[in-house]
Structure 1
Amino acid sequence: MKSGNKRSPDLSFVARERLQGLKRLPKGFFVGAPDLAVEVISPSNTFAEIHSKLVEYFDSGAKLVWVINPDEQSVLVYRQPQPDKLLKLTDSLDGEEVIPGFTLLVAELFAELDF
């Protein structure tokens, strides 16, 4: 991150183009922000903590952030540190230009496991 902090989203995606020239995936932290960062809100998270992470992700070059709220079964989509849209169970996540062609029903994130 630009700030020197080492942030680790719950899930991240880095485009293949940004990995060109690497022989192996880096061990430890990737240098820079992911193209897509996903944070899952847990009971111990505070709004200030999540917002601080979002600001750092975007300041360091992230293009898209999804904040998943399991308690409300919703996803906040960010393209900057302010939320762009709120997705509910009937909506779909879209990878936009970051992961072209990727879509996922929000309801699938919260579906009960059936093994």
Structure 2
Amino acid sequence: MTLAVSSSLAEYQNELRLDLLIDMDDDAFFEFCQRNPELRFERNPDGTIIIMPLTGGKTGIRNSELSFEVVLWNRARRLGQVFDSSTGFRFPNGAMRSPDIAWISNQKWDLLTAREQEKFPPVSPEFIVELMSANDKLKQAQAKMTEYIENGVLLAWLINPKDQEAYVYRSNGSTHHITDFDQYLSGEDILPDFKFDLRLLK
């Protein structure tokens, strides 16, 4: 397969974009990802493939803290399934995204066939988290959050440890900006009774 590297790297800073000279359907893209397990890919609605960078040590620790708390909450209630950042989801607009953390209710997950569950699930998670690394661009991260909501995500958190701020996005179009980490983020009615202490990410 021949790949062409996009020249617009400055715009995406820490992402490498690949413009394929041939089109790949969802099955072909899945196989492409399986053949490159050391890399993490996303795909834009126009088919452009993005190679996502590896995280640094501090980001990895923070991701683990977040994942642990969501998994612990879910294990106690058994309301759905929790997914890590290596899981790709096919959204209604054609994009393939891999949030840092995603949660899907059992009711929604069970509607998928076994084959759909095995590959890139064609479903929008009800809840997602994106944790920014030090070099991530805020405007680019916010655009992704808007895309999530427009494609059916009900609750989304964008967390920026560098500036100790967080943004909450909801399906009704409302957003909330948290300006310090001495607070809790709430799972609201999507993850009932779930609260995350932002101080764990300092």
Summarize the alignment of residues 1-115 of structure 1 with structure 2, pairs less than 5 Å apart. 1-22=91-112, 26-79=117-170, 83-86=175-178, 88-110=180-202
- Number of aligned positions between the proteins: 110
> What RMSD over aligned residues (CA atoms) do the two structures have, in Å?
2.3
TM-score by structure 2 length?
Answer: 0.48
Instruction: Say which is worse superposed, 32-41 or 15-24, in terms of deviation.
Output: 15-24
- Contact 2:134-2:162 at 8 Å conserved across structures: no
Separation in structure 1 between the aligned mates of residue 179 and residue 186 of structure 2, nearest angstrom: 10
Query: What 5-or-longer segments of structure 1 have no aligned partner?
Result: 111-115
TM-score by structure 1 length?
Answer: 0.79
Q: Pick the structure with greater CA Rg.
A: 2
Give the number of the structure whose residues are more often helix, by fraction: 2
- Residue 113 of structure 1 corresponds to none
The structure, 1 or 2, with the larger RCO (C-alpha pairs under 8 Å, 6+ apart) is 1
Separation in structure 2 between the aligned mates of residue 7 and residue 104 of structure 1, nearest angstrom: 23
Secondary structure, counterpart of 1:98 in structure 2: coil
Query: What 5-or-longer segments of structure 2 have no aligned partner?
Result: 1-90
Q: CA deviation at 1:78?
A: 1.3
- Contact 1:32-1:60 at 8 Å conserved across structures: no
- Residue 42 of structure 2 corresponds to none
Identity of aligned residues (%): 27
- Contact 2:125-2:153 at 8 Å conserved across structures: yes
Q: 1:90 to 1:43 in 2, by over 3 A?
A: closer
Separation in structure 2 between the aligned mates of residue 96 and residue 38 of structure 1, nearest angstrom: 14
Separation in structure 1 between the aligned mates of residue 103 and residue 122 of structure 2, nearest angstrom: 13
